[in-house]
Amino acid sequence: MIELANVTQVFNHGTVNEVTAIKNLSLKIDEGDFITVIGSNGAGKTTLLNVIAGAVFPTGGKVFINNKNITKLHEYKRSKLIGRIFQNPLLGTAGSMSIEQNMALSIKKGFRLFTLALNRSKRERFREELKTLNMGLENRLKDTVGLLSGGQRQALTLLTTVLSRPALLLLDEHTAALDPGNAEAVMRLTRDFIESYKMTAVMITHNMQQAIDYGNRLVMFSDGEIIFDIKGEEKSNLTVAKLVAKFKEIKNEMMNSDEILLDTGV
Protein backbone atom coordinates (compact mmCIF):
# COMPACT_ATOMS: atom_id res chain seq x y z
CA MET A 1 0.00 0.00 0.00
CA ILE A 2 2.67 2.51 1.12
CA GLU A 3 6.28 2.07 0.10
CA LEU A 4 9.34 4.14 0.86
CA ALA A 5 12.19 3.26 -1.49
CA ASN A 6 15.73 4.28 -0.50
CA VAL A 7 14.50 7.45 1.20
CA THR A 8 17.03 9.88 2.65
CA GLN A 9 16.14 13.10 4.46
CA VAL A 10 18.83 15.72 5.12
CA PHE A 11 18.17 18.99 6.90
CA ASN A 12 20.38 22.10 6.62
CA HIS A 13 22.29 20.50 3.79
CA GLY A 14 25.79 21.89 3.25
CA THR A 15 25.91 23.78 6.55
CA VAL A 16 27.63 23.10 9.86
CA ASN A 17 24.18 22.17 11.19
CA GLU A 18 23.57 19.47 8.58
CA VAL A 19 21.56 16.54 9.96
CA THR A 20 20.69 13.32 8.21
CA ALA A 21 17.39 12.36 9.82
CA ILE A 22 16.69 9.34 7.60
CA LYS A 23 19.36 7.25 5.86
CA ASN A 24 18.53 5.31 2.69
CA LEU A 25 15.40 3.85 4.26
CA SER A 26 13.15 1.31 2.55
CA LEU A 27 9.85 0.34 4.16
CA LYS A 28 6.66 -1.34 2.94
CA ILE A 29 3.41 -0.77 4.82
CA ASP A 30 0.86 -3.38 3.80
CA GLU A 31 -2.87 -2.83 3.82
CA GLY A 32 -4.21 -3.63 7.28
CA ASP A 33 -0.88 -3.16 9.04
CA PHE A 34 -0.93 -1.47 12.44
CA ILE A 35 2.74 -0.60 12.97
CA THR A 36 4.10 0.76 16.23
CA VAL A 37 7.33 2.75 15.85
CA ILE A 38 9.81 3.22 18.69
CA GLY A 39 13.26 4.76 19.07
CA SER A 40 15.18 7.41 20.93
CA ASN A 41 14.66 11.14 20.48
CA GLY A 42 16.14 12.22 17.16
CA ALA A 43 16.03 8.70 15.72
CA GLY A 44 13.96 9.83 12.72
CA LYS A 45 10.48 8.68 13.73
CA THR A 46 8.59 11.94 13.21
CA THR A 47 10.58 12.65 10.05
CA LEU A 48 9.30 9.31 8.75
CA LEU A 49 5.69 10.44 9.26
CA ASN A 50 6.46 13.86 7.75
CA VAL A 51 7.81 12.19 4.61
CA ILE A 52 4.78 9.89 4.33
CA ALA A 53 2.35 12.76 4.93
CA GLY A 54 4.12 15.10 2.51
CA ALA A 55 5.06 17.67 5.16
CA VAL A 56 8.61 17.40 3.79
CA PHE A 57 9.88 16.10 0.49
CA PRO A 58 12.73 13.59 0.82
CA THR A 59 16.22 14.60 -0.22
CA GLY A 60 16.54 11.28 -2.02
CA GLY A 61 14.44 8.22 -2.80
CA LYS A 62 10.76 7.80 -3.62
CA VAL A 63 7.40 7.40 -1.87
CA PHE A 64 4.58 5.31 -3.37
CA ILE A 65 0.96 4.76 -2.41
CA ASN A 66 -0.83 1.94 -4.22
CA ASN A 67 2.11 1.84 -6.66
CA LYS A 68 1.65 5.53 -7.56
CA ASN A 69 4.67 7.80 -7.10
CA ILE A 70 3.63 10.55 -4.67
CA THR A 71 7.13 11.73 -3.74
CA LYS A 72 6.44 15.33 -4.79
CA LEU A 73 2.72 15.37 -4.04
CA HIS A 74 1.90 18.19 -1.63
CA GLU A 75 0.58 17.49 1.85
CA TYR A 76 -2.86 19.01 1.28
CA LYS A 77 -3.41 16.64 -1.65
CA ARG A 78 -2.25 13.61 0.32
CA SER A 79 -4.63 14.55 3.14
CA LYS A 80 -7.46 13.06 1.11
CA LEU A 81 -5.80 9.67 1.67
CA ILE A 82 -3.87 10.18 4.89
CA GLY A 83 -5.19 11.19 8.31
CA ARG A 84 -2.76 12.37 10.98
CA ILE A 85 -3.13 12.94 14.71
CA PHE A 86 -0.48 14.86 16.65
CA GLN A 87 0.65 14.83 20.27
CA ASN A 88 -1.02 18.17 21.02
CA PRO A 89 -4.79 17.63 21.46
CA LEU A 90 -5.45 21.21 20.29
CA LEU A 91 -4.16 20.59 16.77
CA GLY A 92 -6.78 18.15 15.49
CA THR A 93 -9.95 20.16 15.97
CA ALA A 94 -11.20 23.74 15.54
CA GLY A 95 -11.57 25.02 19.10
CA SER A 96 -13.88 27.92 18.21
CA MET A 97 -16.38 25.64 16.46
CA SER A 98 -18.94 23.29 17.97
CA ILE A 99 -18.60 19.53 18.21
CA GLU A 100 -21.18 19.01 15.48
CA GLN A 101 -19.47 21.52 13.17
CA ASN A 102 -16.13 19.75 13.62
CA MET A 103 -17.75 16.44 12.80
CA ALA A 104 -19.50 17.87 9.75
CA LEU A 105 -16.18 19.20 8.48
CA SER A 106 -14.56 15.80 8.90
CA ILE A 107 -17.07 13.98 6.71
CA LYS A 108 -16.81 16.76 4.10
CA LYS A 109 -13.01 16.36 4.08
CA GLY A 110 -12.46 20.05 4.75
CA PHE A 111 -15.01 21.52 2.32
CA ARG A 112 -15.85 25.18 2.89
CA LEU A 113 -18.20 25.97 5.73
CA PHE A 114 -21.01 27.18 3.53
CA THR A 115 -21.32 23.67 2.08
CA LEU A 116 -22.13 22.22 5.50
CA ALA A 117 -25.75 21.29 6.09
CA LEU A 118 -26.54 20.16 9.62
CA ASN A 119 -29.91 18.45 9.77
CA ARG A 120 -31.67 16.08 12.15
CA SER A 121 -30.38 12.90 10.49
CA LYS A 122 -26.76 14.07 10.58
CA ARG A 123 -27.04 15.13 14.20
CA GLU A 124 -28.49 11.74 15.08
CA ARG A 125 -25.61 10.06 13.27
CA PHE A 126 -23.12 12.22 15.15
CA ARG A 127 -24.73 11.34 18.47
CA GLU A 128 -24.46 7.63 17.70
CA GLU A 129 -20.80 7.99 16.69
CA LEU A 130 -20.01 10.03 19.82
CA LYS A 131 -21.54 7.35 22.05
CA THR A 132 -18.63 5.08 21.11
CA LEU A 133 -16.31 7.43 23.03
CA ASN A 134 -18.17 6.85 26.34
CA MET A 135 -17.54 10.46 27.35
CA GLY A 136 -21.05 11.88 27.23
CA LEU A 137 -20.24 14.08 24.24
CA GLU A 138 -23.34 12.87 22.40
CA ASN A 139 -25.30 15.24 24.63
CA ARG A 140 -23.05 18.23 23.90
CA LEU A 141 -23.23 18.60 20.12
CA LYS A 142 -23.54 22.37 20.22
CA ASP A 143 -20.79 22.89 22.81
CA THR A 144 -17.65 24.66 21.63
CA VAL A 145 -14.75 22.22 21.30
CA GLY A 146 -12.49 24.61 23.18
CA LEU A 147 -14.45 23.79 26.33
CA LEU A 148 -13.44 20.12 26.25
CA SER A 149 -10.65 18.55 28.27
CA GLY A 150 -7.47 17.37 26.55
CA GLY A 151 -8.58 13.75 26.67
CA GLN A 152 -12.04 14.53 25.31
CA ARG A 153 -10.56 16.66 22.56
CA GLN A 154 -8.06 14.00 21.48
CA ALA A 155 -10.79 11.36 21.49
CA LEU A 156 -12.91 13.64 19.30
CA THR A 157 -9.94 14.19 16.99
CA LEU A 158 -9.55 10.44 16.67
CA LEU A 159 -13.24 9.99 15.90
CA THR A 160 -13.42 12.79 13.31
CA THR A 161 -10.27 11.50 11.61
CA VAL A 162 -11.72 8.00 11.41
CA LEU A 163 -15.00 9.35 10.05
CA SER A 164 -13.12 10.81 7.09
CA ARG A 165 -12.10 7.23 6.20
CA PRO A 166 -8.38 7.78 5.44
CA ALA A 167 -6.51 5.03 3.62
CA LEU A 168 -3.70 5.48 6.16
CA LEU A 169 -3.80 6.75 9.74
CA LEU A 170 -0.63 8.35 11.18
CA LEU A 171 -0.45 8.67 14.98
CA ASP A 172 2.39 10.85 16.25
CA GLU A 173 2.58 10.11 20.00
CA HIS A 174 -1.10 10.98 20.17
CA THR A 175 -1.47 9.97 23.86
CA ALA A 176 1.81 11.40 25.18
CA ALA A 177 0.28 14.67 26.42
CA LEU A 178 -2.59 12.97 28.26
CA ASP A 179 -2.80 11.75 31.84
CA PRO A 180 -2.58 7.95 32.24
CA GLY A 181 -6.34 7.42 32.46
CA ASN A 182 -7.14 9.41 29.34
CA ALA A 183 -4.14 7.94 27.51
CA GLU A 184 -5.42 4.43 28.17
CA ALA A 185 -8.95 5.37 27.07
CA VAL A 186 -7.74 6.94 23.82
CA MET A 187 -5.52 3.92 23.10
CA ARG A 188 -8.47 1.55 23.57
CA LEU A 189 -10.50 3.68 21.18
CA THR A 190 -7.60 3.69 18.73
CA ARG A 191 -7.43 -0.09 18.69
CA ASP A 192 -11.21 -0.46 18.46
CA PHE A 193 -11.50 1.95 15.52
CA ILE A 194 -8.59 0.41 13.63
CA GLU A 195 -10.01 -3.08 14.08
CA SER A 196 -13.63 -2.11 13.36
CA TYR A 197 -12.84 -0.17 10.20
CA LYS A 198 -9.93 -2.42 9.12
CA MET A 199 -7.63 0.59 8.91
CA THR A 200 -3.94 0.77 8.10
CA ALA A 201 -2.03 2.72 10.74
CA VAL A 202 1.45 3.79 11.83
CA MET A 203 1.85 4.89 15.45
CA ILE A 204 4.90 6.50 17.07
CA THR A 205 5.24 5.90 20.79
CA HIS A 206 7.93 6.22 23.45
CA ASN A 207 6.18 3.67 25.63
CA MET A 208 7.63 0.22 24.97
CA GLN A 209 4.77 -1.63 26.66
CA GLN A 210 2.29 0.27 24.49
CA ALA A 211 4.32 -0.60 21.40
CA ILE A 212 4.20 -4.28 22.36
CA ASP A 213 0.52 -4.38 23.34
CA TYR A 214 -0.84 -2.68 20.23
CA GLY A 215 -0.53 -3.43 16.54
CA ASN A 216 0.62 -6.42 14.51
CA ARG A 217 4.10 -5.09 13.71
CA LEU A 218 6.83 -3.22 15.59
CA VAL A 219 9.61 -1.18 14.01
CA MET A 220 12.59 0.19 15.95
CA PHE A 221 14.45 3.26 14.71
CA SER A 222 17.96 4.39 15.56
CA ASP A 223 20.03 7.12 13.90
CA GLY A 224 17.68 7.38 10.95
CA GLU A 225 17.61 3.67 10.19
CA ILE A 226 15.33 0.73 10.92
CA ILE A 227 17.30 -1.64 13.13
CA PHE A 228 14.50 -4.03 14.09
CA ASP A 229 11.25 -5.02 12.36
CA ILE A 230 9.10 -7.73 13.91
CA LYS A 231 5.50 -8.84 13.44
CA GLY A 232 2.95 -11.56 14.06
CA GLU A 233 3.62 -14.23 16.66
CA GLU A 234 7.21 -13.06 17.20
CA LYS A 235 5.90 -9.65 18.20
CA SER A 236 3.23 -11.10 20.48
CA ASN A 237 5.98 -12.92 22.40
CA LEU A 238 7.94 -9.74 23.08
CA THR A 239 8.42 -8.26 26.53
CA VAL A 240 9.96 -4.95 27.53
CA ALA A 241 13.03 -6.80 28.81
CA LYS A 242 13.43 -8.67 25.52
CA LEU A 243 13.02 -5.45 23.56
CA VAL A 244 15.67 -3.63 25.59
CA ALA A 245 18.00 -6.62 25.25
CA LYS A 246 17.45 -6.65 21.49
CA PHE A 247 18.33 -2.98 21.24
CA LYS A 248 21.54 -3.53 23.22
CA GLU A 249 22.41 -6.53 21.10
CA ILE A 250 21.95 -4.62 17.86
CA LYS A 251 23.66 -1.43 18.96
CA ASN A 252 26.27 -3.23 21.06
CA GLU A 253 26.17 -0.51 23.65
CA MET A 254 24.66 0.27 27.03
CA MET A 255 21.83 2.78 27.13
CA ASN A 256 22.70 6.05 28.82
CA SER A 257 20.02 7.14 31.29
CA ASP A 258 20.40 10.73 30.06
CA GLU A 259 19.61 9.55 26.52
CA ILE A 260 16.29 7.96 27.50
CA LEU A 261 15.69 5.50 24.67
CA LEU A 262 12.10 4.77 25.58
CA ASP A 263 9.55 4.77 28.37
CA THR A 264 8.97 1.30 29.81
CA GLY A 265 5.54 2.37 31.00
CA VAL A 266 6.30 1.23 34.55
Domain regions of the chain by residue span: 1-81+166-266, 90-164
pLDDT along the chain (266 residues), means of 10: 95 92 96 94 93 96 95 93 94 93 78 60 93 95 96 96 93 95 95 95 94 96 93 92 87 49 50
User: What does pTM read for this prediction?
Assistant: 0.89
Rounded-to-integer distance, Cα 201 and Cα 36, Å: 8
The CATH classification of domain 1-81+166-266, taken from the options 3.40.30.10, 3.40.50.300, 3.40.50.720, 3.10.450.50: 3.40.50.300
Q: Which pLDDT value is given to residue 260? A: 41
* C-alpha distances out from residue 31 to 80, 199, 200, Å: 17, 8, 6
Q: Are 240 and 220 in contact (CB under 8 A)?
A: no
Q: Are 141 and 100 in contact (CB under 8 A)?
A: yes
Backbone phi, psi, residue 197, to 5°: -100, 5
Q: Which helix H or strand E contains 183, and what residues bound it?
A: helix 180-196
Q: Which pLDDT value is given to residue 111? A: 46
Q: Which pLDDT value is given to residue 106? A: 82
Amino acid at 126: F
Rounded-to-integer distance, Cα 255 and Cα 247, Å: 9
Q: Is 103 helix (H, G, I), strand (E, B) or coil?
A: helix
Pairing mode, strands 60-65 and 217-222: unpaired
